[in-house]
C-alpha cells in the first residue's frame, strides 16, 4: 500500500480522524463525493451521504469522503464540507481522474467520481474504496469506444474497490472481458453472480466467490505484492429486498436507448438520459434502490477493510 507521507503535502487536507486512523493502521474506507452532488437531489442527498458514512462506521472503519476544494484534496469531509457539497448539488464540478489537475488549479468545488476517488485515495494511503456502481464498457463500444475511466484506473491504482457491479445500462460481458485483459481480479463477496447495480444479476459470473472478509483480504494482499498488479475489484449485490426486476429494467433501458437515438442524444448525456427514463418507469424505485446499494456496498467495504487492517497488524482471524 502507498506511503501515507503523501498526505503531508499542502495539496492534502486530511480530517484528524482519518489521519489518526492511517497513522495507527486502523481501517479507513474512501467514499466518492460525486454521488452526493449529482446522484440525489437536495436535501435528500445529504441524508444519504450521512447514512453511507454511518454504514462504514457501523462496520468498524473510518469513513473518508473525498472531494476537491480551494485547490486541495479533502480526505474525509467535515460535516460542514459534506453539507456544502450536498447544497452545491449539480453546480459542483464532476471530477474524473483526468479532471483532477484542472479542478485543483481552478480552486472550485469538485465532486469526485469513482476514478478520481481511486486515484486520490491511492495517493493518500487509503487501501479500500467503496462505490455503488462501477463505470464500465458501454453498449455499442465496438464503434463508440466509450469505456469508463474507472476501469483503467483500476489498473493504475493498488486498492481494494468494493461495488455492486456495473449499471444495467452498460455491457457487463464486455466490462468483464476488459477487466480480464488488464489483469484485474473480480471477487464476488458472498455471491458468485456479477451484479448489475440495482439488479442482483447481470447474467455473468465473477472470477471467484469468497464468503469471508479475511479471505478477500488475504487474496488482495497476495495480489498487491506483485509490482504493477493494479487493484482488486470486489462485487457485492444489492440486498434482495431492495433489488429491482432485471427484465423490467432491461425493457425500460431498451425503450430509453431507442428514444435517445431518435432524439439524437449522444456522448455522456446518454447515460443521464437513460437513468432518468428508468427512474420514471419504476416510479422512483430506482432511486430507492440506489440508496440501498450505496449503504450495502459501504457496509461490505468496511467489513473487508477491517479484515485487511487486522491482517496487516497481525491480529488473528476470529473465524
Q: pLDDT tens for residues 293-303?
A: 999 999 999 99
List of residues 6+ apart from 270 with CB closer than 8 A:
138, 257, 260
Annotated catalytic residue 167: yes
Annotated catalytic residue 225: no
211 labeled part of a ligand binding site: no
1-126 and 135-313 have identical folds: yes
220-257: pLDDT as tens digits: 999 999 877 899 999 999 999 999 888 888 888 888 88
14-66: pLDDT as tens digits: 999 999 999 999 999 999 999 999 888 888 999 999 999 999 999 999 999 99
78 labeled part of a ligand binding site: no
149 labeled part of a ligand binding site: yes
95-104: pLDDT as tens digits: 999 999 999 9
DSSP character string of the chain: ---GGGGGSTTEEE-HHHHHHHHHT--EEEE-SHIIIIIS-TTHHHHHHHHHHHHHHHTT-EEEEEEEETTEEEES--HHHHHHHHHHGGGSEEE-GGGHHHHHHHT--EEE-HHHHHHHHHHHT--EEE-S-B--BBTTHHHH--B-HHHHHHHH---EEEE-BB-TTB-HHHHHHHHHHTT--EEEES-SB--BTTBS--S-B-SEEE--HHHHHHHHHHHHTSTT---EEEE-PPPGGGPPPHHHHHHHHHHHHHHHHHTT--TTHHHHHHHHHHHHHTTTHHHHHHHHHHHHHHHHHHHHHHHHHHHHHTPPP--
The answer to whether 183 touches 155, Cβ cutoff 8 Å, is yes
305 CB neighbour count, 10 Å cutoff: 30
123-180: pLDDT as tens digits: 999 999 999 989 999 888 888 788 899 999 999 999 999 999 998 889 999 999 999 9
**Average per-residue pLDDT for the chain:** 92
| pLDDT for 4 | 61
Q: Which of 185, 217, 194 is nearest to 304 (CA)?
A: 217
Q: How far is 162 from 68, CA to CA, in rounded Å?
A: 22
From 32, 53, 153, 305, active-site residue? 32
Section 264-271 average pLDDT: 75
135-313 is classed CATH 3.40.1790.10: yes
Q: How far is 89 from 83, CA to CA, in rounded Å?
A: 10
From 53, 167, 215, 303, active-site residue? 167
Q: How far is 155 from 214, CA to CA, in rounded Å?
A: 23
276-293: pLDDT as tens digits: 787 787 877 888 898 999
Question: Across-strand partners of 64?
Answer: 30
Domain residue limits, the chain: 1-126, 135-313
- Secondary structure element (H or E) that encloses residue 186, with its range: strand 186-189
Distance of CA 30 to the CA centre of its chain: 9
| pLDDT for 105 | 97
1-126: CATH topology is Indigoidine synthase fold (3.40.1790)
117-139: pLDDT as tens digits: 999 999 999 999 999 989 999 88
Amino acid at each position: 500500500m502507498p506511503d501515507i507521507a503523501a498526505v503531508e503535502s499542502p495539496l492534502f487536507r486530511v480530517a484528524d480522524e482519518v489521519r489518526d486512523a492511517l497513522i495507527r493502521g486502523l481501517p479507513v474506507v474512501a467514499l466518492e463525493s460525486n454521488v452526493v452532488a449529482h446522484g440525489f437531489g437536495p436535501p435528500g442527498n445529504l441524508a444519504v451521504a450521512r447514512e453511507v458514512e454511518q454504514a462504514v462506521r457501523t462496520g468498524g472503519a473510518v469513513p473518508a469522503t473525498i472531494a476537491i476544494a480551494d485547490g486541495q484534496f479533502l480526505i474525509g469531509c467535515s460535516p460542514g464540507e459534506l453539507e456544502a457539497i450536498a447544497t452545491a448539488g449539480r453546480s459542483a464540478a464532476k471530477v474524473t481522474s483526468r479532471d483532477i489537475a484542472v479542478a485543483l488549479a481552478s480552486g472550485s468545488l469538485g465532486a469526485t467520481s469513482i476514478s478520481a476517488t481511486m486515484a486520490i485515495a491511492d495517493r493518500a494511503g487509503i487501501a479500500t474504496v467503496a462505490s455503488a456502481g462501477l463505470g464500465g464498457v458501454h453498449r455499442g463500444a465496438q464503434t463508440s469506444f466509450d469505456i469508463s475511466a474507472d476501469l483503467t484506473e483500476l489498473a493504475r491504482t493498488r486498492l481494494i474497490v468494493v461495488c455492486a457491479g456495473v449499471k444495467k445500462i452498460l455491457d457487463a460481458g464486455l466490462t468483464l472481458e476488459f477487466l480480464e485483459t488488464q489483469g484485474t481480479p473480480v471477487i464476488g463477496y458472498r455471491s458468485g453472480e456479477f451484479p448489475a447495480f440495482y439488479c442482483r444479476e447481470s447474467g455473468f459470473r465473477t472470477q471467484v466467490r469468497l464468503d469471508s472478509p479475511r479471505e478477500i483480504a488475504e487474496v488482495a494482499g497476495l495480489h498487491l505484492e506483485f509490482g504493477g498488479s493494479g487493484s482488486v475489484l470486489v462485487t457485492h449485490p444489492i440486498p434482495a429486498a431492495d433489488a429491482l426486476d432485471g427484465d423490467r429494467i432491461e425493457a425500460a433501458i431498451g425503450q430509453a436507448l431507442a428514444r435517445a437515438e431518435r432524439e439524437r442524444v449522444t456522448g455522456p448525456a446518454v447515460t443521464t438520459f437513460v437513468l432518468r427514463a428508468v427512474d420514471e418507469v419504476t416510479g422512483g424505485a430506482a432511486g430507492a434502490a440506489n440508496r440501498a446499494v450505496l449503504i450495502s456496498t459501504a457496509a461490505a467495504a468496511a467489513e473487508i477493510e477491517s479484515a485487511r487492517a487486522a491482517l496487516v497488524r497481525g491480529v488473528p482471524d476470529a473465524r
